[in-house]
Chain A
Amino acid sequence: MGQTITEKILAVHTGKTSVKPGELIQAKLDIVLGNDITAPVAINEFNKLGIDKVFATDRIALIPDHFTPNKDIKSAEQVKVLREFAAKMGITHFYDVGEMGVEHALLPEKGIVGPGDLIIGADSHTCTYGALGAFSTGVGSTDMGIAMATGEAWFKVPESIKFVIKGKKKKWVSGKDLILYIIGQIGVDGARYQAMEFTGPAIKDFSIDERFTIANMAIEAGAKNGIFGVDEVTLAYVKGRTIRPYQIYESDADATYVRTIEIDLADVDMQVAFPHLPENTKRIDEAKGLKIDQVVIGSCTNGRIEDLRIAADIMKGKKVAKGVRCIIIPATQQIYKQAMNEGLFNIFIDANAAVSTPTCGPCLGGHMGILAKGERSLATTNRNFVGRMGSTESEVYLASPAVAAASAITGTISSPEEII
């Protein structure tokens, strides 16, 4: 019987020829990731095991990105735990301020993750790397701590949902709109414990940056992982970039899926997710006109170069509306430099937007753009839970970089069509 790409990757890493949904397996890991919030807990758990070295110094990534550059003394102490552990263990992939970026933009950019890999990260958005045809999933700190010691983790093989994407994208519609549309359709637990596999004739029209955005938000539908097959777009990105050999897997034609969901892009408009769940999506024309206080363009979801280019195209020669703070956060140092060299910062700064060094910052209500009671932010981030960006009486609306940029200019939730 045929297998899905998810099943194939899990099987290979378990030393089996096949696995089936529901099966509990112990699998070998290619990369184990943690950040400044989750890794200190993981390191503490690791230390309880009574061993003095990690399973492989080049297979662990420690990325302090959430509260960095350190927002307060406690955060500084947390990052110090990572820095000292990395030095003691000789961990290759520790990237401090100046080299670091938002982990899920940084790892693919540096070629640390690639097609066919099995990756766990103590961060729920670890599912991002599924864009490259890898199996990648978020876990907690104890899993991470043990994985740093053993290079293994237990998994329940997930069932897969097949999304067949067809048709043509409408003007301004991006990967963010597609994933928000899907979450709106199936709900925040619509893919709970399952793999979301994105297929279909229209996939070729989604850039690698858009695919990262789509896979990134699989967790917002409760999924274990989001995954794409490998095509020319993937190969163009990974060739010459990955630091280990990669392996390409594809789903068999007779693989078993728990559900198949067809989506015609003719039905997908620009989306805005209303508070306080990512499933509360509306079409842009149903959301227009709502007054906002802040716009955030960045995060592991939408802080990549293409996102910044789209925002710059819309903001060029215009000014951010009075009363709105527009905060733009390139996700990595390389994206930062590229955006600077392309002149995007001139556009942003001339528009009165603030440009920040890479950080997760406001996405999780950490720092660099916290909301007061009664304030409303439109953000390209991934979650709009109660209190996510600050006060429990503030609101977060999720949208694409195009909608975010347009809204920053008008001061209300807007479509780019209104200003271009």
Chain B
Amino acid sequence: MNVNGKAWKVGDHIDTDVIIPARYLNTSDPNELAKYCMIDYDSDFVTKIKTGDIMVAGVNFGCGSSREHAPIAIKVAGISCVIAKTFARIFYRNAINIGLPILESAEASEKIKEGDELEIDLALGKIVNITRKETYTATAFPPFMQELIEQGGLINYTKKKLGTARL
């Protein structure tokens, strides 16, 4: 699957409290959560981005709380992929489980500038920077995670598994 959009750069150690502050966690409605995505980092974030745009972060993206509301808010706000130098582990796991595409690439994180037009082949982990005419390759997922991603997340994967178990 290919996604494309404009790059929005964010810094190191972006924690899940700034991605979706706890004061909005008294609901689990994805559309409601998406309204406040990144509000404590940049209060105009959701109005600035267009569907398909890509977040490009530094190290340890998604650190802190295990709230799955964070990747949900990002996904439903319209972000098609998050690229980071590194991800915090619970966020990494949650993103894969809910089907938010994420890619780890130090090179992409460093070279992409805000506003660059990107085109990404998610299956290959190939990131093309159209603006700068550069290509970066993200770390490949292990086969099990690739399977999870292809099936659209852990729920679909498990449903299939449970279904198979019943046959």
Contacts and interface: CB of A to CB of B under 8 A. Distances in A.
Nearest to B95: A140
Q: How large is the interface on B (under 10, 10 to 19, 20 to 34, 35 or more residues)?
A: 35 or more
Contact of A386 (B40, B67, B154): B40
B97 A142 contact: yes
B106 to A, nearest CB: 13
Contacts of B86: 189, 192
A138 B66 contact: yes
Contacts of A385: 15, 17-18, 64
B63 interface: yes
Contact of A24 (B28, B59, B142, B155): B142
Nearest to A158: B89
A65 to B, nearest CB: 13
B98 A142 contact: yes
Contact of A140 (B15, B27, B41, B90): B90
A40 B155 CA distance: 15
A24 B144 contact: yes
Contacts of A122: 66, 68
Interface string A374-406: 000000000101111000100000000000000
A41 B68 contact: yes
26 contacts: A38-B67, A41-B69, A41-B72, A44-B28, A66-B22, A66-B25, A78-B27, A124-B64, A124-B90, A139-B90, A140-B67, A145-B155, A149-B158, A154-B144, A188-B60, A189-B60, A189-B63, A224-B89, A277-B13, A365-B21, A365-B22, A383-B15, A385-B15, A386-B17, A386-B41, A387-B21
Contacts, number: 134
A143 interface: yes
Interface in B84-99: 86, 88-90, 93-94, 97-98
B94 A140 contact: yes
A346 interface: no
Given A49-B159, A150-B158, A67 B26 contact: yes
B48 interface: no
A366 interface: yes
Given A41-B28, A142-B68, A383 B89 contact: no
A45 interface: yes
Interface in B4-24: 13, 15, 17-18, 21-23
Give me the 4 closest cross-chain CB pairs, A-B, nearest first: A140-B94, A140-B68, A74-B26, A142-B97
Given A49-B162, A189-B86, A142 B155 contact: yes
B155 A387 contact: no
A142 B154 contact: yes
Given A49-B158, A222-B63, A140 B28 contact: no
